[in-house]
């Protein structure tokens, strides 16, 4: 397993399309009130940490950068973007409700029940493509960082950091507006007071 610097990985807060159970991929929709509250919670968690010497990076997509602006307010003098932190592309499925896709109702309500859709989307990137993109990004890091990204990209980054295989992506917890700390091959989900 490769030795990576300590990282905090944040997923963006809830968006309008998340609330509608739509697949976003490279498309975008704004944060909801709940999504902004989740980003504020991330800010409170991060304020309790010593982030001296950390770099702050975000996906360039609107929902992630909007989350980064809230979650890193008062903490980051500068937020850099990197396209390798963008969400997995899902080709023909982007913008569609999960209930409209193969697997229909079973995949409608939760992201976990729809993981196969992100891998099998016609014209999409697939998990192997996302793996290589995330691995390239992680290999380029030269110090501790706070990363603001997306659901599938967060899972893939954490999967690589934990030394797991791509087929175990479904075993990793998701969640919007969360903060994961990864160091020395160990993952912790942070909450206030933890």
Alpha-helical segments (H) within 48-192: 62-71, 115-120, 126-140, 151-161
Average pLDDT over residues 157-185: 93
The reported pLDDT for the residue numbered 68 is 98
Statement: residue 73 has pLDDT above 60:
yes
List phi, psi (to 5°) of 147.
-115, 130
SS3 label, residue 56: strand
The CATH number assigned to the domain with range 7-190 reads 3.40.50.1240
DSSP 81-103: E-GGGSPPP-GGGTTSBGGGSTT
User: Could you tell me the residue ranges of all domains in the chain?
Assistant: 7-190
The reported pLDDT for the residue numbered 174 is 87
- Residue 102: band (very low, low, confident or very high) from pLDDT cuts 50, 70, 90: confident
CA–CA dist 85, 103 (Å, integer): 28
The alpha carbon dihedral of 74, 181, 160, 93 has a sign of negative
Residues designated as active site: 12, 87
Statement: residue 2 has pLDDT above 70:
no
Average pLDDT over residues 135-164: 97
The reported pLDDT for the residue numbered 98 is 85
SS3 label, residue 162: coil
The reported pTM is 0.94
The reported pLDDT for the residue numbered 110 is 60
SS3 label, residue 136: helix
Instruction: Work out the number of other CB atoms within 10 angstroms of the CB of residue 112.
Output: 12
């Amino acid at each position: 397993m490769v030795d990576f610097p300590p990282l905090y990985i944040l997923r963006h807060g809830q968006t309008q399309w998340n609330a509608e159970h739509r697949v976003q991929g490279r498309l975008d929709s704004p944060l909801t009130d709940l999504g902004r509250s989740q980003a504020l919670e991330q800010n409170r968690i991060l304020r309790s940490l010593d982030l001296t010497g950390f770099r702050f990076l975000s996906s360039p997509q609107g929902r992630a950068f909007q989350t980064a602006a809230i979650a890193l307010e008062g903490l980051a003098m500068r937020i850099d973007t990197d396209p390798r932190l963008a969400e997995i592309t899902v080709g023909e499925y982007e913008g569609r409700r999960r209930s409209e896709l193969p697997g229909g109702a079973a995949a409608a309500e939760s992201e976990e029940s729809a993981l196969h859709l992100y891998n099998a989307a016609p014209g999409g990137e697939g998990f192997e493509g996302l793996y290589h993109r995330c691995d390239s990004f992680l290999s380029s890091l030269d110090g501790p960082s706070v990363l603001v990204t997306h659901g599938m990209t967060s899972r893939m980054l954490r999967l690589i950091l934990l030394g797991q295989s791509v087929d175990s992506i479904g075993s990793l917890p998701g969640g919007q507006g969360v903060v994961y700390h990864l160091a020395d091959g160990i993952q912790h989900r942070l909450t206030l007071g933890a």
